Amino acid sequence: MEIIIITGMSGSGKSYALDVFEDLGYYAMDNLAPALLPKFCNIALDAKSKNFEKVAAVVDMRSGELFNDFYSAYEELKGMNLKIRLLFLYADMETIIARYKELRRPHPMNRSIVDGYNFEEATLSKIKESADFVIDTTGLSTKNLRKQLMAFVSYDEKDNFAIEVTSFGFKSGILKDADLVFDVRFLPNPFYIKELKDLNGNTEEVKSFVMKWDVTREFIDKTVDLLKFLIPNYMAEQKRVLTIGIGCTGGFHRSVAIAEEIGRILKEEYKSTYVTHRDMEKNLWKKR
């Protein structure tokens, strides 16, 4: 029996994540008190039903004081015959505030959004550190979050390692939590080509423009060589996820094309490589 525990900040997209796992065939449960999770798993194991072979449960601070049982419940689950993975979602304060204002909903901690955010950030910090997978949903479209969740499901358990290559725009701020950041603003910019300005780096037209320059190919070759040296060393240090940021001015053209190309090359050797684009498309969220 496999169980994915989804937790994290209010407003970070946990309910959307649960919907994705349900679409993937997981038995989905939302807002479960931590102490009830081992009890449910015992019942599911005894039932030996195919319905409960894969379970995803959101366990978060909406359960109030009952959330204090999280660690003891988590340790109890570890002692059972289960495959357990802990997924943590968060976003920055500005993003959380914008989402709650859009939805016109109060914060579940019965505090102001700012106070609720600060309280959760402090309370959940240790859980975030122990998570198997952490996703920053700041600026992520639902499409890109789904892509990251799919990568989480296909996480390379043999190597216990995943590689995230993310494009971003410096004008929206540097990529938080990146382990490595590469600045590609020195490359020729499609923004100044009338026919390419409104196309993103995932289109063939922009890709062809970015990739046609000798400096681009040389940059990619040298960067991939460096990454192939670094990755085994990060793995030796038991790092679970290596986040590589590729930044250009707006995060729409050059960084997108370069991230896709570097991700494609790395995936040939490291299957748990996935590519996301922080600033290429930003959707308003309808889920918390």
The residue among 107, 182, 172 whose CA lies nearest residue 139 is: 172
Q: Is 10 annotated as a binding residue?
A: yes
Rg (CA), the chain: 20
Judge residue 101's burial from the number of C-beta atoms within 10 Å of its C-beta, 0-12 exposed, 13-18 middle, 19 or more buried. Answer: exposed
Distance CA 4, CA 37 (A): 11
- Does 251 show up as a binding residue in the annotation? no
8 assigned binding-site residue: yes
125 annotated ligand-binding residue: no
Residue 278 labeled ligand binder: no
H or E element: which one contains 28?
A: strand 27-29
Is 12 among the annotated ligand-binding positions?
A: yes
Question: Quick one: DSSP state of residue 159?
Answer: T
Q: Is 9 annotated as a binding residue?
A: yes
* 211 annotated as ligand-binding: no
In sequence order, the β-bridge partners of residue 122 are none
d(CA 73, CA 80): 11
Is 15 known as a binding-site position? yes
> Does 93 count as an annotated binding residue?
no
> Does 13 appear as a known binding residue?
yes
The upper half-sphere exposure of residue 284, i.e. CA atoms within 13 Å in the direction of its Cβ, equals 7
CB contact at 8 A, 186 and 213: no
Binding residues for GTP: 60-63
List binding-site positions for ATP: 8-15
Residues of the binding site: 8-15, 60-63
